[in-house]
Each structure stands twice: as structure tokens, then as C-alpha cells.
Amino acid sequence: MELQVLIVDDELGLQEVINDFVSLKGFTTKTASSAQEALEILETCTPYLIICDISMPGMNGLELMEKVKSNGLKSAVVMLTAHEESDKIIRAVQLGCIDYMTKPFDSKVFLSKLDSWVEIGKRLLALNSESSTSERGDVSRQLKMIDMFRMKNAKTQG
């Protein structure tokens, strides 16, 4: 079975809660307590979605995202942050983060967004696969797809 969601957070209690939410929705998961552990997992599998804490000891979530993206991984990434630090959130978006949530987060909001996040990741990986086989990277097409899912998600929540 393919890995659908990788959860990276050094707070084990929160990691378990997120894992329970994601598993409740029927997605396969793996968890990592550090960015380094996440990199080791990513050597053997490609998740649709990575849910990652921004602030962790050692390598933080932004540094992990930089490494992941520089290695060509196209998974969707959602960042978790304890503080709305706009500079870190802006940097995460520049690196390709599709969304972020401030901790503690509302479980209903998290669960309502989860399906869309996984679907975006699945489509990004499919588009990347198509691009690789046709030897062209259509970034604008990927961005349009993300915008389409964000609009769809906004309509279902509003």
C-alpha cells in the first residue's frame, strides 16, 4: 500500500493526534519525530502529503522543505506553527507549501481540509509523473490545479 501522509512533528502527543485524525479518514501514514527521520523515510517512499511542524530542534520544517524540494519531491506540504510568524509562513509558501495551520488547531477544520490536501498532493505527483515522462515541467498547470482545489475547498467551507 502506498504512503499517503507523512507527519513530522517533535511533539509526540500532537503527532499521535494528527496520526489518529489522518487514519480516521482512511489514509495510510508514517510519522517522524525529526526532520532527519523524515528524510530517511522519504528515501524509500513518496507521500501525497507531508504535514510538518515549522519549529523543531535541529533541522526545522523550512529546512526540511528546502531539502525535499531540492531533491525534486513534489508532495504537497502543509505546515504547522505554534505562532503566526509571517516571515516563516511566507517562506513556506515560497517553497511551495499549500497551506498552514496554527497550533492548537480546530480538529473540524483540520479534518475538513485533509481530503483536499491529499488530493492536491496526489494530483501534483501525477502531474510531475506526466511531466517527467513527457520531459516538460508545466508549473503553471500545477499552480492552476492548486488554485482550483483551493477555490473548491473555500466553496465547501463557506
Domains of the chain with CATH codes:
5-157 (3.40.50.2300)
Residue 63 has a pLDDT of 96
Find the mean pLDDT for residues 2-29: 93
Please state whether 7 falls in left (phi above 0), alpha (psi between -120 and 50) or beta.
Answer: beta
**At residue 135, does pLDDT exceed 50?**
no
- State residue 131's pLDDT score: 58
pLDDT classification of 112: cutoffs 50, 70, 90: very high
Please check whether residue 77 is in contact with residue 96, taking contact to mean a CB–CB distance below 8 angstroms.
yes
**Phi then psi dihedrals of residue 112, to 5 deg:** -70, -25
Sign of CA dihedral 102, 105, 106, 109: positive
Q: What grid cell was written down for 12?
A: 509526540
pLDDT at 149: 64
Element at 86 (helix H, strand E): helix 86-94
61-103 tens-digit pLDDT: 999 999 988 888 889 999 999 877 788 888 898 998 999 999 8
Rounded alpha-carbon distances, angstroms, from residue 78 to 1, 12, 25, 65, 99: 22, 18, 17, 10, 5
pTM value?
A: 0.81
pLDDT score at 74: 86
